[in-house]
Amino acid sequence: MVREIWNVSSEVRAKCSPLNAMTIGVLALQGDFDAHRKRLEELGATVVLVKKPEQLDQIDGLVIPGGESSTFLKLLGQAGFEKLKEFVRVKPTFGTCAGAILLANEVENPKQTGLGVLDIRIRRNAYGRQVDSSIREGKLNGSPIEMVFIRAPKIEHVGPGVEVLATEGEDPVAVRQGKVMAATFHPELSADTRVHRAFLDLIRST
């Protein structure tokens, strides 16, 4: 009976809603936002490139891509930063590399302000100049996965409310706390779609 489905709670309906009913924003101030756009579209999501703070009102979740976290802070400006800070407290957000740095509670090398929504301490450019970028194999929920690191930060400390989703050697490289997900590598540059799918599942479950 078609009518019956409208009797279920809005929460249940949201979980059943098709993926293309979701609009995901990708912060497009700088960095590799287009690779995220392509990946999310491949997975069936509707994507909006977010260039203005008011666009945050139209999206169900946000990806903050890699780039240069200090440049993001400059380009956001005070008003953009405050609006983003409100957003990440309410809606699912996934930060990769520079995006992970922006979401962290504590940033080192050098110290830098952030959105403070993920209880981790993260060190910028932690692999040194010799290992500017590398492709390594890590584990996502225990299964092998390719990881592309580019001038990557390292998560040095993980708070009690933070779940480690992926590791490389001994290091946590993808984490989640509530609606916030972060990875120090670039899943948008590998063919494997599991990390983005995990973010879409997170949006669907909130």
Under rule CB under 6 A, which residues in 59-88 are in contact with ligand GLN? 66-69
Residue 183 contacts ligand GLN per CB under 6 A: no
Choose the stretch contacting ligand GLN; rule: CB under 6 A; options: 54-62, 150-158, 163-171, 187-195: 150-158
Window of 4-12, 147-155, 156-164, 188-196 that interacts with ligand GLN by CB under 6 A: 147-155
Active centre residues (catalytic): 97, 186, 188
Minimum CB distance to ligand GLN, residue 151 (Å): 4
Please tell me whether residue 98 binds ligand GLN under the rule CB under 6 A.
yes
Instruction: Select 67 or 92, whichever has its Cβ closest to ligand GLN.
Output: 67
Other C-beta atoms lying within 10 Å of the C-beta of residue 110: 7
Give me the residues that bind ligand GLN (CB under 6 A), please. Answer: 66-69, 97-98, 101, 124-125, 150-151, 153
